[in-house]
Amino acid sequence: MGETWHGTTIIGVAKGGEVVVAGDGQVSLGQTVIKGTARKVRRLKPGGHEVVCGFAGSTADAFTLLERLEKKLEATPGQLQRAAVELAKDWRTDKYLQKLEAMLIVTDGSELYVITGAGDVLEPEHGIAAIGSGGNYALAAARAMIDGPEDAETIARKAMGIAADICVYTNGNLTVEKISG
């Protein structure tokens, strides 16, 4: 049995009119850390409309999906939900895309979604979405803080720190992108 890639924690937190997407930088192969400074959160600007995306899973697969999402956004400017649904439909029905192993968190600052290869476009409860191996830890931590005084970025950073302390496939080297709706 071959080694498998593990890792990544991505969180999206919406609070106070802004959304923050944060991701760790660790890439692991089996029990070995291959890289600690990967950028798994990206800002796209198709047609002048900014969208922030975070990905978990295979990097090459995620980049393929980000390119497809960018094309969908260019075809439907300013309509993140429609572009996300179109991507999810393609991902579920296209034989090539079906083999891709990744998940995405996407936001335009007013909408926040998780997109999966099962055809899901999920709008999270409480304005918090998290994916990846440490996603449940980050989600639980952020849920505990969301009603407190901290802003979205502080919550995302603290939640990622907690996930990094618990999940061996997550580190504290963060990429953080903030966007307002």
d(CA 128, CA 156): 9
Q: How far is CA 144 from CA 5, 6, 56, 59, 112, in A?
A: 30, 26, 23, 30, 19
Catalytic residue (choose from 4, 8, 107, 116):
8
Query: What is the longest distance spanned by two Cα atoms in the chain?
Result: 48
Residues near 120 by beta carbon (within 8 Å), at least 6 away in sequence: 88, 114
Look up 107 and say whether it is catalytic.
no
Q: Which two tokens stand for residue 122?
A: 């999920």
Element spanning 74, H or E: helix 59-75
d(CA 63, CA 142): 27
Positions annotated as catalytic residues are: 8
